[in-house]
Amino acid sequence: MNTVKTVRELRAAVARARNEGKRIGFVPTMGNLHSGHIALITKATQRVDFVVASIFVNPLQFGAGEDLDKYPRTLAADQEKLLEAGCHLLFAPAVEEMYPDGMTGQTRVSVPQLSEGLCGASRPGHFEGVATVVSKLFNMVQPDLAIFGQKDFQQLAVIKSLVHDLNMPVQIIGEPTVRAADGLALSSRNGFLSEEQRAVAPVVYRVLSQMAEAIKQGERDFPALIDAQFKQLEAAGLRTDYLEIRHAQTLRPATPEDRDLVILVAAFLGTTRLIDNLHLSLDTTA
């Protein structure tokens, strides 16, 4: 696996693969790779002939006071994992390579509606930062397909929407969240949890599972359901940012008639913000 740091080298390497008739798959990441990321790479190796990963901690998607500076940078370990997983090319640019003219005058890509609410409400500008860097990366790599984790459900919806709206010729694939044995969704931010917090963290997925089960059993009083489970999160010592039941495609608040639902949560354990979701498709008899 080759690691390149400039757009020029990236384009040259991808062009070589393309000239050999290879289909290109892309997995953008911010590094500090765990099994969830590796599952995306593995999926890509099954779908295409040439897999490109990127590692770039994108300042544009972090707000003031967020964890940009302490976000873990583990390039050597990441390179080993990518190599082992069958990745062909890693693009690991510096901030100056991605934003050579600085970020103030940088053209931005914004996806209204889907970016509003949920994480967009607590992290103003976050999805604009994501949509902008993903658009840039897509233009640099020009992949046939790109793979993202479903753990960032709203992010995936935003990216699907921007690709559709801007007619980008790239297929977007969402892959299921990889979880620890106790249900906690894998995330680079889990590394910030103390041992004690890590023991509490699985409550996040338990709450989602209990809500999904209640809905499957016919519960349609969503506000009451949210209220009860919100209290469970708080009782476990989390500070809940949001706990919501939404329509899985539009992300609008769910109505009792909706069949395609997603339950989304963001909650702080100490200073660490955990997010998770559970997609729930109800069959017609439920």
Q: Give the residue numbers marked as catalytic.
A: 37
Comparison of 16 and 164: residue with beta carbon closer to ligand PAF: 164
Comparison of 29 and 277: residue with beta carbon closer to ligand PAF: 29
Nearest Cα residue to 65 out of 152, 124, 9, 22: 124
Comparison of 133 and 162: residue with beta carbon closer to ligand PAF: 133
Q: Shortest gap between Cβ of 149 and ligand PAF (angstroms)?
A: 7
CB-CB contact of 275 with 151 (8 Å): yes
CB-CB contact of 53 with 25 (8 Å): no
Give the gyration radius of the chain's Cα atoms: 19
Comparison of 88 and 126: residue with beta carbon closer to ligand PAF: 126
Q: Which amino acid is at 20?
A: E
Residues in contact with ligand PAF by the rule CB under 6 A: 28-30, 58, 61, 130, 133-134, 152, 155
Q: Shortest gap between Cβ of 55 and ligand PAF (angstroms)?
A: 9
Please give the Cα distance from 20 to 24 (Å, whole number).
11
Q: Shortest gap between Cβ of 148 and ligand PAF (angstroms)?
A: 6
Tokens read off for 130: 């994501």
DSSP-assigned letters across all residues of 152-221: SHHHHHHHHHHHHHTT---EEEEEPPPB-TTSPBP-GGGGGS-HHHHHHTTHHHHHHHHHHHHHHTT---
Alpha-carbon separation of residue 32 from 54, 97, 189, 216 (angstroms): 12, 20, 9, 36
Q: Shortest gap between Cβ of 15 and ligand PAF (angstroms)?
A: 23
Q: Shortest gap between Cβ of 249 and ligand PAF (angstroms)?
A: 20
Comparison of 61 and 240: residue with beta carbon closer to ligand PAF: 61
